[in-house]
Amino acid sequence: MAQPPLSKQLQKLEEELGTQLFIRSGTKLILTPQGALLNERAVQILRFVERTKTEIAQIGPDISGTLRIASIKSYALNRLPPILGRFKEKYPKVNFDLLSTTSLQGAKSVRNNLMDIGIIRRYSVPDDLEYVDLEVQNWFVLFPKDHPLAQNGKSSVTLEELSKYDLLLPKNSIVSQTIRGLFHMSGFHVNVCAEYEPWTLGARLTSAGVGLALAPITIGSEFRNSRLAAKVIDSFDFSSTISVIYNSYSGLSQLSKTFLSEILGHAPNHERE
């Protein structure tokens, strides 16, 4: 398109919206905050149109298509593979586009319609996304199997015992603040030698002797039969909820609804109606 007609169309768009969308610097156009928002919404609309076309083409007796799933790393590594295996066996025409990521990035990808479904920790679910609770995960302290606290015959560990050792906390403000608060309220000092991300790094740092990591059950179960032992913190029920999220604006496709039913049906402690 030639420059003059394009300039006229951009000017007309700005007049229609009643705001400046571009800053003109010589031959360059720089988006204003209003222009950036319009561009973001336009991209979302185009993706939604393409998704709608795909879903219409897939309507039929057999469920098919590509399901895009963003999942936190701990769930993607442990819980998700067998669920996808069962789903693929039931619906062989379904393919997957998978993203292993953080809760915040997973929520962003669902909001922007880059992913159909997200599996994240509930404390990171934004207000503009719908969610269904999947399971509650308990948290454990990981120890090398030759560590004194791993060999004392107890199934749990106290805050007083932990206060004598260097700890590794997840690089997440909510989890980190909760643990620090538990120590403070109990009158014990917490020795945090490092904060880590992703979750699996905590287990590997513990194996290397850097410190004792606090990790969710999915990570604990992955390493418990190797070089590590895992114990709960005595007298404290510390857990976090895993939720499935989706975009309420674009809704759930038939494929997404079918998968949601499947994943909830196999969740360890999901409350079924």
Q: 179: domain CATH number?
A: 3.40.190.10
3-state secondary structure 116-176: CEEEEEHHHCCCCEEEEEEEEEEEEEEEECCCHHHCCCCCEECHHHHCCCEEEEECCHHHH
Strand partners, 101: 72
Does residue 8 fall inside a structural domain?
no
- Residue 272 pLDDT: 39
Residues forming a β-bridge with 169: 195
- The answer to whether residue 221 is domain-embedded is yes
**Closest by alpha carbon to 182, among 230, 238, 239?**
238
pLDDT, position 194: 92
Task: State whether 156 and 91 are in the same domain.
Answer: no
Q: Are residues 210 and 247 in the same domain?
A: no
**Domain identity same for 128 and 97:** yes
The answer to whether residues 73 and 198 belong to one domain is no
Same domain, 125 and 141: no
Containing 28, the helix (H) or strand (E) segment is: strand 28-31
Residue 13 belongs to some domain of the structure: no
CA-wise closest residue to 87 among 273, 270, 261: 261
Has residue 4 been placed in a domain? no
Is the domain of 144 the same as that of 74?
A: no
Q: Which domain holds residue 216?
A: 137-239
**183 and 104, same structural domain?**
no
Query: Residues 243, 120: contact at Cβ < 8 Å?
Result: yes
pLDDT at 224: 53
Judge if 248 and 118 occupy the same domain.
yes
Tokens encoding 228: 């590590």
DSSP type of residue 63: -
pLDDT at 69: 96
d(CA 40, CA 145): 51
Query: Does residue 261 sit in the same domain as residue 141?
Result: no
Which pLDDT belongs to residue 61? 57
Distance CA 198, CA 261 (A): 28
**Considering the domain boundaries, does residue 211 fall inside one?**
yes
Query: Does 31 map to a domain?
Result: no
Q: What is the pLDDT, as a whole number, of residue 173? A: 64
| Structural domain count, the chain | 2
The answer to whether residues 82 and 96 belong to one domain is yes
Asked, for residue 76, whether it belongs to a domain, the answer is yes
Q: Say yes or no: 228 and 110 in one domain.
A: no
Handedness of CA 190, 193, 196, 200 (dihedral sign): negative
Contacts of 134 (CB under 8 A, 6+ apart): 119, 241, 242, 243, 244, 263, 264, 267, 270
- Which amino acid, one-letter code, is at 222? E
Q: What pTM was computed for the model?
A: 0.67
Q: Are residues 155 and 229 in the same domain?
A: yes
The backbone torsions φ and ψ at residue 216, rounded to the nearest 5 degrees and listed phi first, read -70, 165
Mean pLDDT of successive 10-residue stretches along the chain, which has 273 residues: 66 81 76 82 74 62 84 86 93 93 91 91 88 86 90 88 92 78 88 85 88 78 67 79 85 84 74 42
> How far is residue 103's CA from residue 109's CA, in Å, rounded to a whole number?
10
User: How far, in Å, CA of 108 to CA of 103, rounded?
Assistant: 9
